[in-house]
Amino acid sequence: MIELSVGELGSLLRTRKVSPVEVVGACLRQIERLNPQVQAFLTVTGESALAAARTAEEEIRRGRYKGPLHGIPYAPKDLLATKGIRTTNGSRVTAEWVPEYESTVTARLQAAGAILVGKLNLLEFAMGSGQRGLVAPARNPWSLAHSPSGSSSGSGAALAARMVPLTIGTDTGGSIRGPAKSCGVVGLKPTYGRVSRYGVTALSWTLDHVGPMARTVADVAAMLQVMSGADPRDRTAARRAVPDFTKTLGAGVKGLRIGVAEGYFFEKVEPEVERALRAAMGELEKLGAVRVVAKVENAAICSPALGVILGAESATVHAERLRDSAGLMDPLVRERLEANSLYSAMDYIQALRVRTVMMEEMRRVFAGCDAVLLPAGNPAPLLETEIVQTDLPPAVPAAPRPDTFNLANLTGIPSLVLPCGFTAGTPTLPIGMQLCAKPFGEATLFRIGHAYQGVTDWHRRAPKF
């Protein structure tokens, strides 16, 4: 049962061939069995989840079926406020915080009948080192010695370990898509404004995104359908009609122009990853997609600009915590926030000007294609290596890392990551590809990703324990 997709489970639940109690129980048993090793969950809400499952069972029995997520278990990154349930932000600073309100995203999922089974591990305040947070770092189910990537580390690990079929992550500089790539699952950073951020602890107001994660593109689409829409409590939530993503999900890719972004984006990509990406594009061409070249000018300036914006905004967000609770923070978080407070207004304004330039650049790029294919980075690094590199002082440069996520965060365009292969060595690790579209073009990404998953089985593979 834990191997089934949400689409498969939903059909069984709707026809009462399976009970929500059985589904939730199977997830709780998997969490109990594997969480001591994987460390994906910070909090497990077993009793309330089973109670909600019994309610869902009765609702479905009485013909009050709410839709494809009714009776489906889910878990959010512990950055989203859940009323009456501890929300730690992965930090000792807020370890005992129990919100009196609910985030818009979790409220919408629960209104659709989804069942909360717990809260997921993360890097502290979505910016920690992964070593000195509230608990031990989450580990990659494909190899416990490797990182699941962050900061939505638990969100990716829980999916790969089949602990839960749906999770929520947040993405300021790749924090949904990195775990999706490293854990072999699907993660979407939606268009800025597509999903409300009310009740989500901020890191950077103009860069933060909340997005769905699952094992199939169809499941991510179903989740986004429920999560999206205007919200009077979040002025950045777009007042824009949410399309029915299921209508075009199976429309195929025939005639779609997919631009392969050459040059900068492939400079640091390992040969094995590049081969997998070329093969993935080949599969899409067999399905009728048209390959074009997507040349993104000035892509290298995205990371410095994003770093200034994220730095200045995060220092403002956490100024009070830094003043009152610095001793409880991961030393790296404290150091970053202290350094970030030194950015000047001129630095910040110049970075905003760069953002405008890159938004115009992407408008030009999408005039010539429907989507852009990019690497999602190299396979997951060893966890201890990643932590050591993260903690290196500035005078000792860490090994170069692929930078393929910041473009989408800086410009606010939607970006989808899904598995497209595995490494040949031991251990076998997932390889991911990234697709970007114009603002509010999630439906196009879903069409491409769903078509690709229809002719490949990478998303069906599971780690062995």
What is each CA distance from 252 to 96, 225, 248, in whole angstroms? 48, 19, 8
List, in sequence order, the alpha helices (H) in 287-382.
Answer: 302-317, 319-325, 331-340, 345-366
From 77, 181, 189, 438, the catalytic residue: 77
Terminal-to-terminal C-alpha distance of the chain = 16
User: Whole-angstrom Cα distance, residue 137 to residue 132?
Assistant: 8
From 129, 149, 151, 228, the catalytic residue: 151
User: Whole-angstrom Cα distance, residue 105 to residue 57?
Assistant: 23
Helices vs strands, H then E, count in the chain: 16, 12
Residue 305 is encoded by which pair of tokens?
A: 């600009």
Strand partners, 189: 415
Q: Is the dihedral of CA 99, 104, 108, 109 positive or negative?
A: negative
From 103, 175, 204, 228, the catalytic residue: 175
Element housing 212 (H / E) = strand 209-214
Cα 438 vs. chain centroid, distance in angstroms?
18
Residues 6+ apart with CB under 8 A from 199: 80, 81, 99, 101, 102, 103, 104, 105, 106, 107
User: Whole-angstrom Cα distance, residue 312 to residue 308?
Assistant: 6
Is 149 an active-site residue?
no
Query: What does the DSSP 8-state code read for residue 145?
Result: T
- The torsion angles phi and psi of 306, rounded to 5 degrees, stand at -60, -40
User: Whole-angstrom Cα distance, residue 324 to residue 401?
Assistant: 34
Is 151 an active-site residue?
yes
Is 77 an active-site residue?
yes
Strand partners, 418: 433
List active site positions.
77, 151, 175
